[in-house]
């Protein structure tokens, strides 16, 4: 698979914020595929290793404080949470993966729930994958990237907690991730992101706009 072009700029002064995402509202939590909302319209899902900053990223992207529940305890998100943007478009918060300190039966249920969603959801248009910029591309991340490649599902990586690194090291970390993906021929874009500093929201909005068919003047 050819390497993908870089995503929209993750520097200040990039694309403007899209007010569509501020309208996100909780729709439903699902513990089983039978509880998913109707499979129509378009969805963007968020996935990531437990404690990668996924829920904080969703809140920052939607400019809301508590849309997605955050916790310092990894493994907090145990259900698939759906948020409506309008009548035909949704955001989806998937359970965090890769956290070992939960019972094996819980891990197995999470895995089955993720597979049931990712493999059978026709309305899924793209996947935002969160990774701690200090610890990117774990084995679990590679597994999800491999699956997405086989499913021909576009992925955009948010290298979260970018505020934990100075700008220079942060840019270098991003470039290393892009280089490793390119070396493997994986067509995935990646950007720095900080929920704490509201950094990178515009670039993420621009990518999600493309997936959701959102046209802005």
Q: Is residue 53 part of a domain?
A: yes
Q: Is residue 8 part of a domain?
A: no
Q: Is the pLDDT of residue 5 over 70?
A: no
Q: Is residue 1 part of a domain?
A: no
Number of folded domains in the chain?
A: 1
* Mean pLDDT, residues 114-138: 94
Q: What is the DSSP string of 57-117?
A: HHHHHTT-SSSS---SSTT---SEEEEESSSSEEEEEPPPB---SS-HHHHHHHHHHHHHH
Write out pLDDT tens, residues 74-105.
444 578 999 999 999 999 999 887 765 666 77
Report the chain's mean pLDDT, rounded to a whole number: 87
CATH of the domain at 70: 3.40.50.300
Q: Which of 25-29, 33-37, 114-118, 195-199 comes out lowest in average pLDDT?
A: 114-118
Write out pLDDT tens, residues 156-168.
999 999 999 999 9
25-30 and 80-84 strand pairing: antiparallel
Q: Is residue 12 part of a domain?
A: no
Q: Is the pLDDT of residue 64 over 70?
A: yes
Cβ atoms < 10 Å from Cβ of 185: 10
| Predicted local distance difference test score (pLDDT) of residue 74 | 47
For residue 188, give both structure tokens: 């995935």
* Mean pLDDT, residues 40-50: 95
Query: pLDDT band at 3, cuts 50/70/90?
Result: very low
Q: Is residue 179 part of a domain?
A: yes
Q: Is residue 5 part of a domain?
A: no
Q: Is residue 6 part of a domain?
A: no
| Predicted local distance difference test score (pLDDT) of residue 15 | 59
Q: Is residue 4 part of a domain?
A: no
For 174, the domain range is 19-212
């Amino acid at each position: 698979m050819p390497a993908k072009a870089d995503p929209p700029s993750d520097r200040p002064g990039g694309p403007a914020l899209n007010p569509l995402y501020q309208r996100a509202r909780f729709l439903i939590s699902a513990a089983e595929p039978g509880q998913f909302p109707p499979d129509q319209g378009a969805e963007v899902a968020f996935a990531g290793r437990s404690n990668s900053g996924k829920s904080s990223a969703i809140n920052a992207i939607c400019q809301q404080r508590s849309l997605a529940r955050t916790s310092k305890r990894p493994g907090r998100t145990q259900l698939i949470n759906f948020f409506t943007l309008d009548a035909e478009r949704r955001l989806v918060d998937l359970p965090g993966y890769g956290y070992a300190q939960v019972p094996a039966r819980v891990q197995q249920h999470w895995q089955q729930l993720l597979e049931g969603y990712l493999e059978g959801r026709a309305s899924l248009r793209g996947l935002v994958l969160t990774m701690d910029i200090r610890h990117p591309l774990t084995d679990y991340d590679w597994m999800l990237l491999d699956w997405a490649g086989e499913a021909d599902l576009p992925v955009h990586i948010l290298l979260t907690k970018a505020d934990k690194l100075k700008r220079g090291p942060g840019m270098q970390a991003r470039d290393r991730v892009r280089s490793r993906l390119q070396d493997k021929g994986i067509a995935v874009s990646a950007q720095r992101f900080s929920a704490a500093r509201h950094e990178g929201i515009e670039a993420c909005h621009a990518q999600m706009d493309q997936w959701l068919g959102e046209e802005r003047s």
